[in-house]
């Protein structure tokens, strides 16, 4: 299995531009999590989905952030418009269903976003 796939790996953009981050979870996993990591705040949960349905988006910082999961194999995190304070590493993680799958989350390699 290829693991969780994220693209792009690096993104540099200018303030005000729209940014779209993409994630492909591990096949068969029914949970998908989006995290943001900064030096100041560490890792923070932004939103998570179960069976493609958003369950908790309380970590999404503001209306400029949106996330979708149109099917079990694809999710996007969009920032529009982007601001310099959005610069961070964004991780996607997935988890197998139910107790049999355990509680382990498998992280993608991350997207390093720089907003100038």
Partner 1 sequence: KNEVEQSPQNLTAQEGEFITINCSYSVGISALHWLQQHPGGGIVSLFMLSSGKKKHGRLIATINIQEKHSSLHITASHPRDSAVYICAVRSSGTDKLIFGTGTRLQVFP
Binding stretches for partner 1 (CB under 8 A): 31, 33, 42-45, 48, 50, 55-56, 89, 91, 93, 95, 102-107, 109-110, 112
Residue 50 or 73 with smaller CB distance to partner 1: 50
Our CB check for partner 1 shows the closer of 31 and 65 to be 31
Contact by Cβ (8 Å): 19, 11: yes
- Identity of the residue, 5 or 81, whose beta carbon is nearer to partner 1 in the bound complex: 5
> Taking the complex as a whole, how short is the minimal distance between the CB of residue 58 and partner 1, in angstroms?
9
> Are 69 and 54 in contact, with CB atoms under 8 Å apart?
yes
- Closer residue to partner 1 (CB): 23 or 93: 93
Cβ atoms of 8 and 30 within 8 Å: the answer is no
The CA R_g of the chain, rounded to the nearest whole Å, is: 14
Give the nearest distance from C-beta 51 to partner 1 in angstroms. Answer: 12
Q: With CA atoms as reference, report the closest residue to 61 among 42, 49, 47, 76.
A: 47
């Amino acid at each position: 299995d290829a693991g969780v796939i994220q693209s792009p790996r690096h993104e540099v953009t200018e303030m005000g531009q729209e940014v779209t981050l993409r994630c492909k979870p591990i096949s068969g996993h029914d949970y998908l999590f989006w995290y943001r990591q900064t030096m100041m705040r560490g890792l923070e949960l932004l939103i998570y989905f179960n069976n493609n349905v958003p369950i908790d988006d309380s970590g999404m910082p503001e209306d400029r952030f949106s996330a979708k999961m149109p099917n079990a194999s694809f999710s996007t995190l969009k920032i529009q418009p982007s601001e310099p304070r959005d610069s961070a590493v964004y991780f996607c993680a997935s988890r197998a269903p139910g107790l049999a799958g355990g509680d382990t989350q498998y992280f993608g390699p991350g997207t390093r976003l720089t907003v100038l």
